[in-house]
């Protein structure tokens, strides 16, 4: 069962859903809009080997915007910290963003119960496009689970910025 926007507001108020900062104007009929944060991550050259930690740099997204060219790929963060120990968050890109030539993939659109942190967005430009800090980029819906709940304790818990791939930890 998906929560309505008003139910999301109530559950945030009751402390059952984390959305920080919370702005009621970002509620829609059955989701909450997420904004782009202030940082992005760009991998340094070379082949990405999932068994090895790869080098990267983290940069600020300028207030005046960042121009992306066709084929640019970077990782960014949500402005909001989200999560819940009671509901399953599912994140989707906003359709208007994709229609402007920016594909937004959520590294794990089905967020584990108990995972609380900033979301990492994968941004891929299919057209020249400009991004801005705090622009509306995605939306999160919350679903009521059935069955016993086991809380997430994985490698991306408490994420505070764009997260690089940590698949190399699976091979340790």
pTM for this one?
Answer: 0.88
How far apart CA 139 and CA 15 sit, in angstroms, is 20
Banded pLDDT at 172 (limits 50, 70, 90):
confident
Statement: residue 168 has pLDDT above 90: no
What does the pLDDT read at residue 108? Answer: 65
Return phi, psi of residue 97, to 5°: -65, -45
Give the structural domain span for 115. 5-171
Burial of 104 (0-12, 13-18, 19+ CB in 10 A): buried
What does the pLDDT read at residue 107? Answer: 60
Max mean pLDDT among 112-116, 117-121, 133-137 falls in 133-137
Banded pLDDT at 45 (limits 50, 70, 90):
confident
Banded pLDDT at 112 (limits 50, 70, 90):
confident
- CATH number, domain containing residue 32: 2.70.40.10
The tokens for 112 are: 């584990």
Count of alpha carbons within 13 Å of 165, Cβ hemisphere only? Answer: 16
Q: For the chain, what percent of residues have pLDDT higher than 90?
A: 66
Banded pLDDT at 106 (limits 50, 70, 90):
low
State how many domains the chain has. 1
Q: Taking residues 95-104, what's their average pLDDT?
A: 88
SS3 98: helix
């Amino acid at each position: 069962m998906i929560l309505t926007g008003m139910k999301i507001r109530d559950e945030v108020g009751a402390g059952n859903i984390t959305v920080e900062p919370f702005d009621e104007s970002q509620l829609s009929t059955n989701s909450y809009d997420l904004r782009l944060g202030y940082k992005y991550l760009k991998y340094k050259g070379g082949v990405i080997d999932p068994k090895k930690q790869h080098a990267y740099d983290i940069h600020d997204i300028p207030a005046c915007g960042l121009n992306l060219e066709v084929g640019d790929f970077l990782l960014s963060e949500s402005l909001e910290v989200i999560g819940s120990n009671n509901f399953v968050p599912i994140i989707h890109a906003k359709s208007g963003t994709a229609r402007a030539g920016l594909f937004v993939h959520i590294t794990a659109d089905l967020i584990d119960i108990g995972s609380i942190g900033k979301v990492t967005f994968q941004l891929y430009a299919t057209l020249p496009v400009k991004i801005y800090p705090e622009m509306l980029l995605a939306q999160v819906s919350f679903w009521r689970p059935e069955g016993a709940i086991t809380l997430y304790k994985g490698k991306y818990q408490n994420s505070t910025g764009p997260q690089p791939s940590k698949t190399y930890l699976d091979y340790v």
